[in-house]
Amino acid sequence: MSDNQSRNVWIKIDNPLGPNTLAKYKDIYEDVLDDRRLSSDLKFCLRNQENVPKFKYNTERSSSDIKEQVLKSDRVRYVIEHLISDKKSDKASVEKEAEEILAEMAHNFNMGSIRFFAFFMVKVFKALFRRVYVNADGIQMLRELIKEYPVLFIPTHRSYFDFLLISYICYEYEIPLPAIAAAMDFSNMKFFGWLLRQCGAFYIRRSFGTDKLYWAIFTEYVQSHIRNGDRPVEFFIEGTRSRTAKSYVPKVGMLSATLESYFKAEVSDIMLVPISISYEKILEESLYAFELLGIPKPKESTSGLFKARNVLNTDHGTVHFHIGTPISLRQWSVDGNLDRIVHSLEPRYINSLTDDENELSKKLAYHLVLEQQKMLVLSPWTLIATVLIQAKGGMVHIKELSKEVDWLKRQLFNLGAYVDWPANVQVENVIEHYANLHSNIVRVREDGIFEILSQNSVKRGKKLLQDEVFLNGATNVMLSSYRNQLMHVIVRVCLVSVVVNSCQSTSLKIVDMLEQYAFLERLLSREFIFISGKTKEDFNNAVIWLQHVGALHIEDEEGNIKFSLNKHIAFFSAVLEPFLISYWVLCQHLLSLPVDVHGRALAKKHKEIAIDAQQLGLKLLQDSVIKNHEILNLDMLSNGLHSLIDMGTMYKDKRVEENYVSPNHRLVSGIAKKLATLVETPSWTQIGNYTNKPITQSLSSKL
């Protein structure tokens, strides 16, 4: 796999991180593929299933039994009767609709397909990955847990391969394969859509807001699996694959629908198992990058997935699959003082979760995401990416890079992160190895300079995308998605650093710091996961940590904090710069919108505003007014916009089921000013030249 052409003078060992040097066992992990490389795949997929543990209260039933029971369930019948009595529909057509919904949704789990799946996937994984590390203790725990409780798998979601890996690992370790809640778009994938359904995936529409029948069938279908414990139920709390490789704000709907079984005492407990899957190289990295830039993604298709970058021939490094400590819903609700007695007065099939239960589900959802984050494994490449993003002009000498990466590694260890750093290997060698693995992003020149590459032009439909700034942007967005993978470890420290860095004097009152910290946390709350009500605690911990490493010290009893600018503050505040500048540009765009007679700007859809702001960013980039390519990341702009809405700085309108917003100039400009005190921004006059011009050119005309 190694690229001998780019061998450099400082490399002492030939290919120091080649496949043979990665151990089968590492810390708590073991490689699941190792045995498979040595034995017959056929034998593997035909092995018997006697050792697969079963839930103690399970009654054996087939996929069609499940469908039948769901259709006959009280919950579904109740809703059907309601629909009929509301004269919305006649009996025959509602029942037909129910059957169709269920047919579209239900999985068709069968052992034959699983064997085929195992045979096929083991080959794919062996081709894709060097090692797939799994924590063995988690496996043992799961095997016991399955017997005692209904179990939910809550994995991180950063790739298509998440589904496949989880099911594959379950097969490997003789754990019942999960029933997977998948988005409907996957069902249209030609081969995988079918195969996944055969392997236990069930498909849910992306949105079905007020469709009572759909909601009832969906809830019953999921809860039926929980009650009978047929197999673990797996769903992605982030709702969709994270394109940015950091955790999305969790979606609570699916979770609370699942937890209802416990709230209504149909089961005595539910165990939620967070699972974290860390990829060294995300298969969809370039697809994501272009999608984040707003270039329409090709329709979900199997051939698309594999053709995308000749995937099977590319080395994707290692994967870490970490099964977390199960969270007992009972314990969680006991601690939350939840009293299930409130459901004694109504039949349980009537949809009725209390506010407390919804609130608890939401808290639990956030907690689960934080638990997932704790178990993520940081590849050295994420450190390299973080440092590279700060490099002036996208170039840095490997000596300096090594120094910086090594420094960052120590900080991360210190913050309790698991960095997958190989033992006894020179920093330069590690970097060189990852440069090879990500040779589509960086190049090491003969003189030892690292440089960030521009992406090749891509074809979308009939149009060829070749704008240099955009293609550069794509690389930067890819790089930033690797930086994002470590953001959860440092983000709180970063926030404090920004506050300190922006301070004009050499000391600061701790209460003022907290206030600014809280502002930033609120502003970035769509970007990173913060637990509401824990602001002060998080802040204190970050301050204590910075104190511990000598970046700050508390001067006196009144809480004055003294500091001098130092490495920590400089580095960690710089990490957040791209976010803050992008948000600032977004504000500038909003403020530039012409105000009509009512004193308001024309209301627009979220998406339109984000795209327009991106256009402004593009121009600023082209003219080098700003250097930050992440301004082109629509996800970031959209997060910013939502935060502004959350903070009440936007007027909201609902028109024809869609949300329209327009800025409250006074409040938005307040935020922009505050941002300008926290981060270095281009001057007003520079920006003024751009924002006064109406933006007419749309993105598609650029393509």
For other proteins, which stretch binds (CB under 8 A), given 267-275, 478-486, 503-511, 592-600? Answer: 267-275
- In the bound complex, what is the minimum distance in angstroms from residue 269's beta carbon to other proteins? 8
Single out the residue of 659, 640, 661 nearest to residue 586, CA to CA.
Answer: 640
- Residues within window 428-457 making contact with other proteins, judged by CB under 8 A: none
Give the number of other CB atoms < 10 A from CB of residue 440: 16
Cβ neighbours of 445 (radius 10 Å): 13
Binding segment toward other proteins, per CB under 8 A, in 215-223, 262-270, 350-358, 560-568? 262-270
Which CB sits closer to other proteins, 340 or 604?
Answer: 340
Q: Does 57 bind other proteins (CB under 8 A)?
A: yes
Smallest gap from Cβ 263 to other proteins, in A, equals: 9
- Answer positive or negative: Cα dihedral of 107, 111, 115, 118: positive
Among 39, 188, 268, 457, binds other proteins (CB under 8 A): 268
In the bound state with other proteins, the residue whose beta carbon lies nearer, of 330 and 397, is 330
Q: Classify 49 as helix, strand or coil.
A: coil
The answer to whether residue 60 forms part of the interface with other proteins (CB under 8 A) is: no
Tell me how far apart the alpha carbons of residues 223 and 221 are, in angstroms, rounded to a whole number. 6
* Nearest of 516, 480, 477 to residue 496 by alpha carbon: 516
Residue 701 makes CB contacts below 8 A (sequence gap 6+) with: none
Which residue from 95, 185, 266, 356 is in contact with other proteins, where contact means CB under 8 A?
266
CA 674 to CA 523: how far, in whole Å?
11
| Helices and strands (H, E) in the chain, number of each type | 28, 23
Least Å from the CB of residue 57 to other proteins: 6
State in angstroms the smallest separation of the CB of 502 from other proteins.
Answer: 50
Q: Which stretch binds other proteins (CB under 8 A): 119-127, 193-201, 263-271, 458-466?
A: 263-271
Q: What residues form DSSP beta bridges with 279?
A: 319
Query: Binding segment for other proteins among 138-146, 261-269, 389-397, 693-701 (CB under 8 A)?
Result: 261-269
Distance of alpha carbon 169 from alpha carbon 522, whole angstroms: 38
The reply on whether position 313 binds other proteins by CB under 8 A is no
In the complex, minimum distance from the CB of residue 268 to other proteins, in angstroms, rounded to a whole number: 4
Half-sphere exposure of 357 (CA within 13 A, CB side): 22
Q: Which is nearer to other proteins, 104 or 266 (CB)?
A: 266
Site residues for other proteins, window 330-359 (CB under 8 A)?
339-341, 343-344, 347-348
The 3-state secondary structure of 183-234 reads EHHHHCCCCHHHHHHHCCEEEECCCCCCCHHHHHHHHHHHHHHHHHCCCCEE
- Candidates 136-144, 235-243, 265-273, 429-437 — which segment interacts with other proteins by CB under 8 A? 265-273
Pick the binder of other proteins from 1, 28, 265, 312 (CB under 8 A): 265
Q: How far is the CB of 698 from other proteins (least distance, A)?
A: 57
Comparison of 334 and 565: residue with beta carbon closer to other proteins:
334
Asked if 267 interacts with other proteins (CB under 8 A), we say yes
**What are the tokens at 83?**
């629909």
**Minimum CB–partner distance for residue 638 and other proteins (Å):** 42
Distances (CA, A) of 274 to 167, 253, 365, 378: 15, 17, 10, 17
Given the complex with other proteins, which of 271 and 377 has the nearer CB atom?
271
Query: Residues in the chain, how many?
Result: 703
Residue with tokens 């994501």: 288
When the beta carbons of 3 and 74 are compared against other proteins, the nearer one is 74
Residues 410-435, buried b or exposed e (16+ Cβ, 10 A)?
ebbeebebbbbbbeebebbbbbbbbb
Name the residue nearer to other proteins (CB basis): 65 or 400.
65
Please identify, using beta-carbon distances, which residue of 66 and 609 lies nearer to other proteins: 66
- Smallest gap from Cβ 174 to other proteins, in A, equals 24
Q: Measuring CA to CA, how many Å separate 540 from each of 518, 535, 552, 559, 648? A: 12, 9, 12, 12, 27
Residues 6+ apart with CB under 8 A from 120: 195
Report the nearest approach of other proteins to the CB of residue 347 (Å).
7
Residue (344 or 692) nearer to other proteins, CB: 344
Nearer to other proteins, 57 or 421 (CB): 57
Q: Return the C-alpha torsion angle 123, 129, 131, 133, nearest 10.
A: -90
**Which x/- pattern, by CB under 8 A, does the window 220-259 give for other proteins?**
----------------------------------------
Q: Pick between residue 340 and residue 397 the one whose CB is nearest to other proteins.
A: 340
* Closest distance to other proteins from the beta carbon of 329 (Å): 13
User: Based on CB atoms, which residue is closest to other proteins, 203 or 263?
Assistant: 263
Binding segment toward other proteins, per CB under 8 A, in 264-272, 429-437, 528-536, 583-591:
264-272
DSSP assignment of 481-524 equals: HHHHHHHHHHHHHHHHHHHHHT-SSSEEEHHHHHHHHHHHHHHT
Residue 42 within binding range of other proteins, rule CB under 8 A: no
Cβ nearer to other proteins, comparing 149 with 690: 149
CB of 227 to other proteins, least distance (A): 9
Count of residues that interact with other proteins, criterion CB under 8 A: 13
Q: Which is nearer to other proteins, 74 or 680 (CB)?
A: 74
**Phi, psi angles (nearest 5°) of residue 30:** -135, 150
For other proteins, give the closer residue by CB, 343 or 483.
343
The CB-of-82 to other proteins minimum distance in angstroms stands at 19
CB of 350 to other proteins, least distance (A): 12
The nearest distance, CB 375 to other proteins, in angstroms, is 25
Smallest gap from Cβ 330 to other proteins, in A, equals 8
Q: Measured between alpha carbons, how far is 409 from 434 in angstroms, rounded to an integer? A: 15
Q: How far is the CB of 266 from other proteins (least distance, A)?
A: 6
Site string for other proteins, 520-559 (x = CB under 8 A): ----------------------------------------
Alpha helices in 349-467 (DSSP H): 355-375, 380-390, 398-414, 427-437
Residue 455 CA to residue 473 CA, distance in Å, equals: 8
Q: What's the rounded Cα separation, in Å, for the pair 270 and 253?
A: 17
d(CA 189, CA 405): 41
Report the distance separating Cα 691 and Cα 677, nearest Å.
21
- Give 260 or 527: the residue with its C-beta nearer to other proteins: 260
Residue with Cβ nearer other proteins (59 or 532) = 59
Which distant-in-sequence residues (6+ apart) come within 8 Å of 88 by Cβ?
94
CB of 531 to other proteins, least distance (A): 27
Contact residues: other proteins, CB under 8 A? 57, 265-269, 339-341, 343-344, 347-348
